[in-house]
Homo-oligomer: A and B are copies of this chain.
Amino acid sequence: MALIPVAEATDERLADYVRLRDVSLRRSLETEQGLFIAEGEKVIRRALEAGYRPRSFLLAERWLAGLADLLEQHPGVPVYVVDETLAEWVTGFHVHRGALASLHRETRHGVTEVLAGDRLVVCEDVVDHTNVGAILRSAAGLGFDGCLLAPRAADPLYRRSVKVSMGAVFSLPWARLEDWEDAVPMLGRAGFLTVALALTEDAVDLSEVVARVRAEAVSGRRPRVALLLGTEGAGLSARWVEQAEVVARIPMARGIDSLNVAAAAAVACYALGPAGTAS
Protein backbone atom coordinates (compact mmCIF):
# COMPACT_ATOMS: atom_id res chain seq x y z
CA MET A 1 0.00 0.00 0.00
CA ALA A 2 1.22 3.46 -0.88
CA LEU A 3 -0.13 5.43 2.08
CA ILE A 4 0.31 9.14 1.52
CA PRO A 5 -0.73 11.53 4.29
CA VAL A 6 -2.09 14.77 2.84
CA ALA A 7 -2.61 17.82 5.07
CA GLU A 8 -3.38 20.63 2.60
CA ALA A 9 -6.82 21.01 1.05
CA THR A 10 -5.26 22.63 -2.01
CA ASP A 11 -2.90 19.71 -2.63
CA GLU A 12 -2.99 18.97 -6.37
CA ARG A 13 -3.12 15.26 -5.72
CA LEU A 14 -6.64 15.62 -4.37
CA ALA A 15 -7.89 17.23 -7.60
CA ASP A 16 -10.08 14.23 -8.48
CA TYR A 17 -12.13 14.79 -5.33
CA VAL A 18 -12.93 18.51 -5.34
CA ARG A 19 -16.45 19.84 -4.82
CA LEU A 20 -18.30 16.57 -5.28
CA ARG A 21 -21.66 18.28 -4.91
CA ASP A 22 -21.05 20.77 -7.72
CA VAL A 23 -22.78 18.90 -10.54
CA SER A 24 -21.72 21.13 -13.43
CA LEU A 25 -18.09 21.28 -12.28
CA ARG A 26 -18.02 17.52 -11.78
CA ARG A 27 -19.58 16.87 -15.16
CA SER A 28 -16.81 18.68 -17.02
CA LEU A 29 -14.02 17.53 -14.70
CA GLU A 30 -15.02 13.84 -14.88
CA THR A 31 -15.50 13.90 -18.63
CA GLU A 32 -12.19 15.65 -19.27
CA GLN A 33 -10.23 13.49 -16.88
CA GLY A 34 -12.12 10.26 -17.65
CA LEU A 35 -12.85 9.45 -14.05
CA PHE A 36 -15.71 8.71 -11.70
CA ILE A 37 -16.05 8.58 -7.93
CA ALA A 38 -17.21 5.67 -5.79
CA GLU A 39 -18.20 6.33 -2.18
CA GLY A 40 -18.32 3.95 0.76
CA GLU A 41 -16.56 0.65 1.36
CA LYS A 42 -19.26 -1.56 -0.15
CA VAL A 43 -19.59 0.40 -3.38
CA ILE A 44 -15.81 0.78 -3.82
CA ARG A 45 -15.46 -2.96 -3.33
CA ARG A 46 -18.08 -3.66 -6.00
CA ALA A 47 -16.44 -1.27 -8.47
CA LEU A 48 -13.09 -3.02 -8.07
CA GLU A 49 -14.63 -6.49 -8.23
CA ALA A 50 -16.29 -5.43 -11.49
CA GLY A 51 -12.81 -4.65 -12.82
CA TYR A 52 -12.85 -0.85 -12.82
CA ARG A 53 -9.29 0.43 -12.43
CA PRO A 54 -8.62 2.78 -9.50
CA ARG A 55 -6.71 6.04 -9.94
CA SER A 56 -6.45 6.75 -6.22
CA PHE A 57 -8.21 6.36 -2.88
CA LEU A 58 -9.07 9.05 -0.33
CA LEU A 59 -9.58 7.80 3.19
CA ALA A 60 -9.79 8.89 6.77
CA GLU A 61 -7.42 6.86 8.91
CA ARG A 62 -10.13 4.93 10.73
CA TRP A 63 -11.30 3.44 7.41
CA LEU A 64 -7.94 1.94 6.52
CA ALA A 65 -8.53 -1.35 8.32
CA GLY A 66 -11.84 -2.08 6.57
CA LEU A 67 -10.33 -1.56 3.13
CA ALA A 68 -6.86 -3.01 3.75
CA ASP A 69 -7.43 -6.15 1.65
CA LEU A 70 -8.59 -4.09 -1.33
CA LEU A 71 -5.73 -1.62 -1.07
CA GLU A 72 -3.24 -4.48 -0.98
CA GLN A 73 -4.61 -5.79 -4.27
CA HIS A 74 -3.74 -2.45 -5.89
CA PRO A 75 -0.23 -1.80 -4.62
CA GLY A 76 0.67 0.88 -7.15
CA VAL A 77 -2.36 3.06 -6.49
CA PRO A 78 -1.89 6.04 -4.18
CA VAL A 79 -3.94 6.07 -0.98
CA TYR A 80 -4.37 9.60 0.29
CA VAL A 81 -4.94 9.63 4.03
CA VAL A 82 -6.62 12.77 5.32
CA ASP A 83 -8.51 13.83 8.40
CA GLU A 84 -12.27 14.17 8.13
CA THR A 85 -12.26 17.95 8.32
CA LEU A 86 -9.92 18.13 5.35
CA ALA A 87 -12.03 15.59 3.44
CA GLU A 88 -15.09 17.74 4.04
CA TRP A 89 -13.20 20.86 2.99
CA VAL A 90 -12.08 19.34 -0.31
CA THR A 91 -15.24 17.47 -1.28
CA GLY A 92 -17.75 20.01 0.02
CA PHE A 93 -19.73 17.60 2.14
CA HIS A 94 -19.45 15.38 5.16
CA VAL A 95 -18.16 12.05 3.91
CA HIS A 96 -20.20 9.78 6.13
CA ARG A 97 -18.60 6.57 5.09
CA GLY A 98 -15.10 7.98 5.20
CA ALA A 99 -13.85 6.35 2.01
CA LEU A 100 -13.76 7.56 -1.58
CA ALA A 101 -12.14 6.13 -4.67
CA SER A 102 -11.46 7.73 -8.02
CA LEU A 103 -11.68 5.22 -10.87
CA HIS A 104 -11.12 5.27 -14.62
CA ARG A 105 -14.29 5.68 -16.65
CA GLU A 106 -14.90 3.00 -19.27
CA THR A 107 -17.57 2.50 -21.90
CA ARG A 108 -18.35 -1.10 -21.13
CA HIS A 109 -21.32 -1.78 -23.38
CA GLY A 110 -22.68 -0.49 -26.64
CA VAL A 111 -26.36 -0.22 -27.48
CA THR A 112 -26.15 -3.41 -29.56
CA GLU A 113 -24.90 -5.43 -26.61
CA VAL A 114 -27.62 -4.11 -24.34
CA LEU A 115 -30.19 -5.06 -26.98
CA ALA A 116 -29.16 -8.70 -26.52
CA GLY A 117 -31.14 -8.70 -23.25
CA ASP A 118 -34.83 -9.59 -23.13
CA ARG A 119 -36.02 -7.01 -20.63
CA LEU A 120 -34.75 -3.45 -20.77
CA VAL A 121 -35.53 -0.23 -18.98
CA VAL A 122 -35.17 2.79 -21.20
CA CYS A 123 -34.77 6.13 -19.43
CA GLU A 124 -35.82 9.08 -21.51
CA ASP A 125 -34.96 12.34 -19.73
CA VAL A 126 -34.65 11.06 -16.18
CA VAL A 127 -32.35 13.85 -15.04
CA ASP A 128 -32.05 13.18 -11.32
CA HIS A 129 -29.02 11.09 -10.40
CA THR A 130 -30.80 9.57 -7.42
CA ASN A 131 -33.57 8.31 -9.69
CA VAL A 132 -31.18 6.88 -12.28
CA GLY A 133 -29.28 5.06 -9.53
CA ALA A 134 -32.49 3.76 -7.95
CA ILE A 135 -33.85 2.60 -11.32
CA LEU A 136 -30.65 0.69 -12.12
CA ARG A 137 -30.72 -1.03 -8.72
CA SER A 138 -34.37 -2.03 -9.02
CA ALA A 139 -34.07 -3.12 -12.65
CA ALA A 140 -31.09 -5.34 -11.88
CA GLY A 141 -32.59 -6.79 -8.70
CA LEU A 142 -35.93 -7.49 -10.35
CA GLY A 143 -34.43 -9.44 -13.24
CA PHE A 144 -34.18 -6.89 -16.03
CA ASP A 145 -31.20 -7.36 -18.34
CA GLY A 146 -30.08 -3.87 -19.20
CA CYS A 147 -30.72 -0.17 -19.41
CA LEU A 148 -30.62 2.33 -22.26
CA LEU A 149 -30.41 6.05 -21.59
CA ALA A 150 -31.58 8.84 -23.86
CA PRO A 151 -29.04 11.59 -24.56
CA ARG A 152 -30.33 13.87 -21.79
CA ALA A 153 -30.76 11.27 -19.02
CA ALA A 154 -28.49 11.60 -15.99
CA ASP A 155 -25.05 9.97 -15.87
CA PRO A 156 -25.07 6.51 -14.24
CA LEU A 157 -21.43 6.95 -13.22
CA TYR A 158 -21.99 10.20 -11.35
CA ARG A 159 -21.15 9.67 -7.66
CA ARG A 160 -24.72 9.95 -6.47
CA SER A 161 -26.08 7.52 -9.11
CA VAL A 162 -23.36 5.00 -8.29
CA LYS A 163 -24.05 5.27 -4.57
CA VAL A 164 -27.83 5.02 -4.80
CA SER A 165 -27.51 2.07 -7.20
CA MET A 166 -25.38 0.34 -4.49
CA GLY A 167 -23.09 -0.68 -7.32
CA ALA A 168 -25.79 -2.10 -9.62
CA VAL A 169 -24.39 0.32 -12.20
CA PHE A 170 -21.36 -2.01 -12.36
CA SER A 171 -23.30 -5.23 -12.90
CA LEU A 172 -26.25 -4.21 -15.10
CA PRO A 173 -25.24 -3.51 -18.72
CA TRP A 174 -26.22 -0.01 -19.80
CA ALA A 175 -25.52 2.23 -22.76
CA ARG A 176 -26.28 5.71 -24.00
CA LEU A 177 -28.64 6.08 -26.98
CA GLU A 178 -27.39 8.52 -29.55
CA ASP A 179 -30.64 8.90 -31.39
CA TRP A 180 -33.61 10.06 -29.33
CA GLU A 181 -35.98 10.41 -32.29
CA ASP A 182 -35.66 6.86 -33.58
CA ALA A 183 -35.10 5.07 -30.26
CA VAL A 184 -38.59 3.62 -29.85
CA PRO A 185 -39.02 2.43 -33.47
CA MET A 186 -35.51 0.95 -33.25
CA LEU A 187 -36.54 -1.06 -30.17
CA GLY A 188 -39.63 -2.25 -32.04
CA ARG A 189 -37.51 -3.40 -35.00
CA ALA A 190 -35.23 -5.22 -32.54
CA GLY A 191 -38.23 -7.28 -31.43
CA PHE A 192 -39.17 -5.53 -28.21
CA LEU A 193 -42.68 -4.82 -27.03
CA THR A 194 -42.26 -1.12 -26.26
CA VAL A 195 -44.23 -0.20 -23.14
CA ALA A 196 -44.55 3.50 -22.31
CA LEU A 197 -45.29 4.04 -18.62
CA ALA A 198 -47.55 7.07 -18.54
CA LEU A 199 -50.74 8.27 -16.88
CA THR A 200 -52.53 9.21 -20.09
CA GLU A 201 -56.28 8.84 -20.46
CA ASP A 202 -56.08 6.03 -22.98
CA ALA A 203 -53.38 4.04 -21.21
CA VAL A 204 -54.23 0.45 -20.39
CA ASP A 205 -53.82 -0.99 -16.92
CA LEU A 206 -50.32 -2.38 -16.34
CA SER A 207 -51.90 -5.74 -15.51
CA GLU A 208 -53.14 -6.04 -19.12
CA VAL A 209 -49.57 -5.75 -20.37
CA VAL A 210 -48.45 -8.30 -17.81
CA ALA A 211 -51.12 -10.71 -19.11
CA ARG A 212 -49.93 -10.14 -22.69
CA VAL A 213 -46.29 -10.82 -21.82
CA ARG A 214 -47.28 -13.89 -19.82
CA ALA A 215 -49.28 -15.19 -22.78
CA GLU A 216 -46.20 -14.82 -24.98
CA ALA A 217 -44.21 -16.85 -22.47
CA VAL A 218 -46.92 -19.52 -22.33
CA SER A 219 -46.98 -19.80 -26.11
CA GLY A 220 -43.24 -20.47 -26.01
CA ARG A 221 -42.11 -17.14 -27.44
CA ARG A 222 -39.35 -15.29 -25.64
CA PRO A 223 -40.99 -12.24 -24.11
CA ARG A 224 -38.98 -9.15 -24.92
CA VAL A 225 -40.01 -5.95 -23.18
CA ALA A 226 -38.63 -2.41 -23.29
CA LEU A 227 -40.06 -0.32 -20.45
CA LEU A 228 -39.96 3.39 -21.31
CA LEU A 229 -39.62 5.80 -18.36
CA GLY A 230 -39.95 9.57 -18.63
CA THR A 231 -38.58 12.62 -16.92
CA GLU A 232 -39.49 13.63 -13.37
CA GLY A 233 -42.64 15.73 -13.33
CA ALA A 234 -43.61 15.89 -16.98
CA GLY A 235 -43.09 12.20 -17.80
CA LEU A 236 -42.41 10.77 -21.24
CA SER A 237 -42.34 12.98 -24.33
CA ALA A 238 -45.38 12.93 -26.60
CA ARG A 239 -43.17 11.40 -29.29
CA TRP A 240 -42.19 8.38 -27.23
CA VAL A 241 -45.74 7.86 -25.95
CA GLU A 242 -47.08 7.93 -29.52
CA GLN A 243 -44.35 5.67 -30.86
CA ALA A 244 -44.72 3.05 -28.13
CA GLU A 245 -46.70 -0.08 -28.96
CA VAL A 246 -48.50 0.03 -25.60
CA VAL A 247 -49.09 2.79 -23.08
CA ALA A 248 -49.50 1.36 -19.58
CA ARG A 249 -50.59 2.98 -16.35
CA ILE A 250 -50.26 1.96 -12.75
CA PRO A 251 -53.73 2.61 -11.29
CA MET A 252 -53.65 5.46 -8.74
CA ALA A 253 -55.76 5.77 -5.58
CA ARG A 254 -56.61 8.49 -3.02
CA GLY A 255 -56.27 11.37 -5.45
CA ILE A 256 -52.51 10.82 -5.70
CA ASP A 257 -51.57 11.98 -9.18
CA SER A 258 -48.49 9.87 -9.78
CA LEU A 259 -45.69 7.84 -8.27
CA ASN A 260 -42.09 8.96 -8.20
CA VAL A 261 -40.39 7.59 -11.36
CA ALA A 262 -38.13 5.27 -9.33
CA ALA A 263 -41.14 3.81 -7.47
CA ALA A 264 -43.05 3.41 -10.73
CA ALA A 265 -40.02 1.70 -12.28
CA ALA A 266 -39.79 -0.73 -9.36
CA VAL A 267 -43.48 -1.62 -9.68
CA ALA A 268 -43.30 -2.08 -13.45
CA CYS A 269 -40.03 -4.05 -13.34
CA TYR A 270 -41.56 -6.39 -10.77
CA ALA A 271 -44.78 -6.81 -12.74
CA LEU A 272 -43.14 -7.23 -16.16
CA GLY A 273 -40.04 -9.07 -14.92
CA PRO A 274 -39.54 -12.79 -14.36
CA ALA A 275 -41.43 -12.71 -11.04
CA GLY A 276 -44.57 -11.11 -12.47
CA THR A 277 -44.74 -12.88 -15.81
CA ALA A 278 -43.72 -16.45 -14.94
CA SER A 279 -46.19 -18.80 -16.58
Return the contact of A143 from the options B137, B144, B253 (Cβ within 8 A): B253
CA distance A271 to B141 in the complex (A): 16
Give Cα A254–Cα B136 distance, bound, in whole angstroms: 12
Q: How distant is A122 from chain B, measured CB to nearest CB, in Å? A: 18
The answer to whether A260 touches B207 (Cβ under 8 A) is no
Residue A86 at the B interface, CB < 8 A?
A: no
Q: Are B256 and A171 in contact (CB under 8 A)?
A: yes
Interface string of A262-278 (1 = CB under 8 A from B): 11101100110111000
Residues of B within 8 A of A137 (CB): 256, 259-260, 263
User: Which residues of chain A from 111 to 147 have a CB within 8 Å of any chain B CB?
Assistant: 134, 137-138, 140-144
In the complex, A142 Cα to B254 Cα: how many Å?
8
B-facing mask of A142-171, CB < 8 A → 1, else 0? 111000000000000000000010101001
Interface flags, A191-217, vs B, CB<8A=1, else 0: 000000000000001110000000000
Contact of A252 with B by CB under 8 A: yes
Contacts of A251 in B (CB 8 A): 143, 274-275
Q: Which residues of B contact A275 (CB under 8 A)?
A: 205-207, 250-251
Interface residue A220 (Cβ < 8 Å from any Cβ of B):
no
- Determine the distance from Cα of A252 to Cα of B166 in the docked complex, in whole angstroms: 14
Chain B residues contacting A171 (CB-CB under 8 Å) are: 254-256
CB distance from A169 to the nearest CB of B (A): 11
**A258: interface (CB < 8 Å):** yes
Give A270 to B248 CA distance when docked, in angstroms: 15
Judge whether A172 is part of the interface by a CB distance below 8 angstroms: yes
The docked-state distance in angstroms from the alpha carbon of A275 to that of B208 is 11
A271 — which chain B residues lie within 8 A by C-beta?
270
B172 touches A254 (CB 8 A): yes
Contact assessment for B266 and A142 in the assembled complex, using a CB-CB cutoff below 8 Å? no
Residues of B contacting A252 in the complex (Cβ-Cβ under 8 angstroms): 141-142
A253–B266 contact, CB under 8 A? Answer: no
B141, A254: Cβ atoms closer than 8 Å? yes
List 14 additional contacts besides A138-B259, A207-B275; criterion CB under 8 Å.
Answer: A137-B260, A141-B250, A141-B252, A141-B253, A141-B256, A143-B253, A166-B260, A205-B275, A250-B270, A262-B262, A262-B263, A264-B266, A266-B266, A266-B267
Q: List 8 A-B contacts (CB under 8 A).
A: A134-B260, A137-B256, A137-B263, A140-B256, A141-B250, A172-B254, A250-B275, A259-B266
